[in-house]
Structure 1
Amino acid sequence: MTVIALVGALDTKGAEYAFLADRVAALGATPLLIDIGVLDEPTVPARIGRDLIAELGGGSLTGLRAGADRNAAMTVMARGAANALVDLDVDGVLAVGGSNAAYVMAEICTRLPFGFPKVLVSTIAAGDTRSYVRETDLTLMYPVVDINGLNRISRPVLANAADACVGMARSRYAEPADGAPLVGVSMFGVTTAAGSSVVRGMADRGFEALTFHCTGVGGRTMESLVLNGTIQGVADLTTTELADELAGGVCSAGPTRLTAAAVRGVPQVVSVGALDMVNFYDAVPSAFSGRQLYPHNPAVTLMRTTAEECAELGRRIADRLNPSTAPVAVLFPHRGLSQLSVPGGVFSDPAADEALYLALKDGLRPGIDLHDFDTDINDPVVSGTAVDLLATWLEKETP
């Protein structure tokens, strides 16, 4: 029997969850209601009550109700729900609500494997969802109207969510076992040729490559998969997210970017792809007035990194690679860090590129090879070298 966990506040969203439970049951599956409410009494019965969820989250329902800190209460209940789900024999999980439901679902999803059906119906789906999706394969649905009772708009939306979750659970795809190591590849629009060439080259050598788009979430996801052991080798040719971290762009992956392979002892080949740019949505902050800008598309404006910023980026890369215990190499293309900074390109700035190179050269510890190329990042010779180095290291480790 297919079992779908329905996680929500059964005091404020009881009618919606009763509807979902009936829909799941009508499809021949079993609904398992989990109550995360802390305010009034639940209006529908739960299979797993709020007292147990609070206890699993490290608190007590009495204490949470007595306190005035709603944030603390949601933190405890989210942790409790996540702890409950990892030990339950269920086939999918569905939640509905606003930002609180989305936060709880985010905590749950980080504990569940890729491919496990996870569906969230929430008004946050029309906003910035990065803090809720995180590095998971959460499926989002926008409810059109707020989750506040049942009506002719909300009922079909909720029914579709239940149908989707049950359908995913019943036809869940099983990936065939493959013993070949997985390789993480970083890529951006302006380094697509390099990333695609690495993927093809690794496949030719018998390895499967996972490509991550360097928008912040992409880099964080790749780092998390390295840390949890999913990825055994890294071809990190596009490190542009470090530039956004430095200058406050929208594609920052945070201060742990480019650290996981060193922590985990995973071999990596690293380059400086798209470190010639910082990404902004809509208007560029006034602090950067006078800087060299380029409209990438109507929604994204790129800003060229300066020589000073490039020098700092070189130092940061060296600092993050130096602790590595596994094999590591750095590839530096002297005639273009991206499609835009080749000779004659809108972001061509040899002085800034040289500042990046010198900082790297001075900062890297002995034992980390710095390979020089008199070409740009997208030249096949760069990606070919990355493939040859990484595949050779992995082949030595593979039985």
Structure 2
Amino acid sequence: MSTSSPTVLLIGTCDTKLNELIYVHDKLVDEHNVQCKLVDVGRNSCSHPSIAYTQADIFAYSGLPAPPDLKVLPRGELISTIIQHTIPLVSSLHQKQAIHGAIGLGGSGGSSLCAEVMRAALPLGFPKLIVSTVAGGNVQAYVGESDVTMMHSVVDIAGLNDILSPILENAAGAIAGMARAEQSRLVHSASSPTTGMIRMTPGDKRIAITMFGVTTPAVTYARELLSAYPCTTYVFHATGAGGRALEKLAESGFWSGILDLTTTELADALLGGVLSAGDRRLTAAAAARIPQVVSVGALDMANFGPMDTVPAKYQSRNLFKHNPSMTLLRTSPEDCRILGRQVGERLKQADPRITEIWIPRRGVSALSVEDAPFWDPEADEALFAAVNDGLDGSEVRVVDVDKDINDGKFVEGVVYKLVEMMGMSRMGGQ
């Protein structure tokens, strides 16, 4: 095997899935010329020549107090204990550039274990793949705000057969390819910071922007305007996962500035829609003292699945079929009063020198401008007034603009205000 081959970390419970893990291990080594480090995260210790890190190795490496007898721990406590001890090992291997990709196999418990380790120990952009029995359903609890890739095993990972085996072969091929891409990035990064890659240059600042289909024109123009400044823009689709990822990165201080035009996920959290980002949305930037310009984009709607999945209590409301898979619910004046107050209250303690809320009085989305399906001046007015109510006692400024959110003048206003807050100057004297 070439010493330049990438290395893949393979995570699984060897006491219950050894044959399947060895099958993936051997495919990686023998067919894809990839080195493989198998980590045993099972309840019962296991011995096999292909295991690179035994259960005992994991616990010894972590430096944490030795756990109680794993054999008697309840399943949930067992998984939490193994996660806690495995994260330091995986994090160290990544920091040493000793691995170039990670793959795990599991049912619900094993998938949860693999996913939590990957999310905690491996950064965005590092290849992460889990072959899982639960990947055919809602994987939000596993993927979270990360970039973990889930592959459905279709059948349980409990014996090789003509359904599971080709799926495992595909998974081995996928992670081998991703690991080679990661290794290539590392090589290029060391030899030439720009070769074949999009890299931030020294002095570049990171700006997060939130977008929905109905605020796309605004974000497109905002990105065009910001291209004249020394910054890199990162657009988050406000689908729940997007908002959670933005907030998590804000907590770590990743952002230099945030253009939070599209706060629609608050409506889904309030009304039980399918794109909620949870109750921490619109909180991290204020706590981290990150410059931000916030608007109320797409707070005219909450999102549900196909029309027949909309809860009965909303069937008499103003509904709009966005596509066969998505139905939009127009927020009512009462909904908007709650949402506006939430926006104000969550920003009330923000630094007023680097925080502003901009109100597009002619429409908060492409659907709520005059004569559009969600045009509702009463609801919009309730939203705007409630933002001010929620800010009562705060010095955070609210800027009213007699334009809709996608109007060029409104976009120029929010962009140049953020630029001013961040102290950026145009590049090359533009």
Paired AA for residue 190 in structure 1: V
Q: How many residues align?
A: 398
Q: Which residue of 2 aligns with 1:48?
A: 53
Which of residues 357, 362, 370 in structure 2 aligns to 1:335? 362
Paired AA for residue 288 in structure 2: R
Which of residues 229, 238, 257 in structure 2 aligns to 1:233? 257
Q: Which consecutive aligned stretches of 4+ in structure 1 deviate over 3 angstroms post-superposition?
A: 39-45, 51-62
2:365–2:404 Cα contact (<8 Å) kept: yes
Q: Which residue of 1 aligns with 2:172?
A: 162
> In the alignment, does 2:136 pair up with 1:126?
yes
Q: Deviations over 1:132-161 (max 9, x none)?
A: 111112122223332222123322222222
C-alpha spacing 1:7/1:377, structure 2 compared with 1 (3 Å): same
Partner of 1:75: helix, strand, or coil? helix
1:226–1:232 Cα contact (<8 Å) kept: no
State the distance in 2 between where 1:206 and 1:262 align: 23
- 1:76-95 equivalences under 5 Å are 76-88=81-93, 89-95=98-104
Q: Which residue of 2 aligns with 1:150?
A: 160
Partner of 1:204: helix, strand, or coil? coil
Cα distance, 1:109 vs. partner? Answer: 2.2
Q: Which residue of 1 aligns with 2:117?
A: 108
State the distance in 1 between where 2:390 and 2:154 align: 52
- 1:238-249 equivalences under 5 Å are 238-249=262-273
Task: Say which is worse superposed, 33-42 or 218-227, in terms of deviation.
Answer: 33-42
Q: Which residue of 1 aligns with 2:327?
A: 301
Partner of 2:14: helix, strand, or coil? coil
State the distance in 2 between where 1:97 and 1:59 align: 27
1:54–1:76 Cα contact (<8 Å) kept: no
Cα distance, 1:13 vs. partner? Answer: 0.7
State the distance in 1 between where 2:332 and 2:262 align: 18
Partner of 2:135: helix, strand, or coil? helix
2:44–2:70 Cα contact (<8 Å) kept: no
Partner of 1:13: helix, strand, or coil? helix
Which of residues 259, 264, 284 in structure 2 aligns to 1:260? 284
2:356–2:396 Cα contact (<8 Å) kept: yes
State the distance in 1 between where 2:12 and 2:70 align: 17
Q: Deviations over 1:90-149 (max 9, x none)?
A: 221111122222212221222211221111111222211111111112122223332222
Q: Deviations over 1:271-305 (max 9, x none)?
A: 00010111112311123342221111111111111
Q: Which residue of 2 aligns with 1:321?
A: 347
Q: Which residue of 2 aligns with 1:385?
A: 413
2:215–2:405 Cα contact (<8 Å) kept: yes
State the distance in 1 between where 2:109 and 2:49 align: 19
Which of residues 39, 64, 72 in structure 1 aligns to 2:70? 64
State the distance in 1 between where 2:417 and 2:131 align: 45
Q: Which residue of 1 aligns with 2:194?
A: none
Which of residues 5, 10, 13 in structure 2 aligns to 1:9? 13
State the distance in 1 between where 2:80 and 2:65 align: 10
RMSD: 2.2
Which of residues 347, 353, 357 in structure 1 aligns to 2:384? 357
> In the alignment, does 2:57 pair up with 1:34?
no
C-alpha spacing 1:57/1:380, structure 2 compared with 1 (3 Å): farther
TM-score (normalised: structure 2) = 0.87
Cα distance, 1:395 vs. partner? Answer: 2.5
Paired AA for residue 5 in structure 1: L
Task: Say which is worse superposed, 184-193 or 292-301, in terms of deviation.
Answer: 292-301
Structure 1: where are the runs of 5+ without partners? none
Paired AA for residue 143 in structure 1: S
Paired AA for residue 178 in structure 1: T
Task: Say which is worse superposed, 389-398 or 176-185, in terms of deviation.
Answer: 389-398
Paired AA for residue 385 in structure 1: G
Structure 2: where are the runs of 5+ without partners? 190-196
State the distance in 2 between where 1:279 and 1:234 align: 24
C-alpha spacing 1:332/1:177, structure 2 compared with 1 (3 Å): closer
Cα distance, 1:59 vs. partner? Answer: 7.0
- 1:188-199 equivalences under 5 Å are 188-199=212-223
How high is the sequence identity, in percent, across the aligned residues?
39
TM-score (normalised: structure 1) = 0.93
State the distance in 2 between where 1:115 and 1:396 align: 28
Which of residues 204, 207, 216 in structure 1 aligns to 2:231? 207
Paired AA for residue 328 in structure 1: T
Partner of 2:69: helix, strand, or coil? helix
C-alpha spacing 1:44/1:142, structure 2 compared with 1 (3 Å): farther
> In the alignment, does 2:97 pair up with 1:73?
no
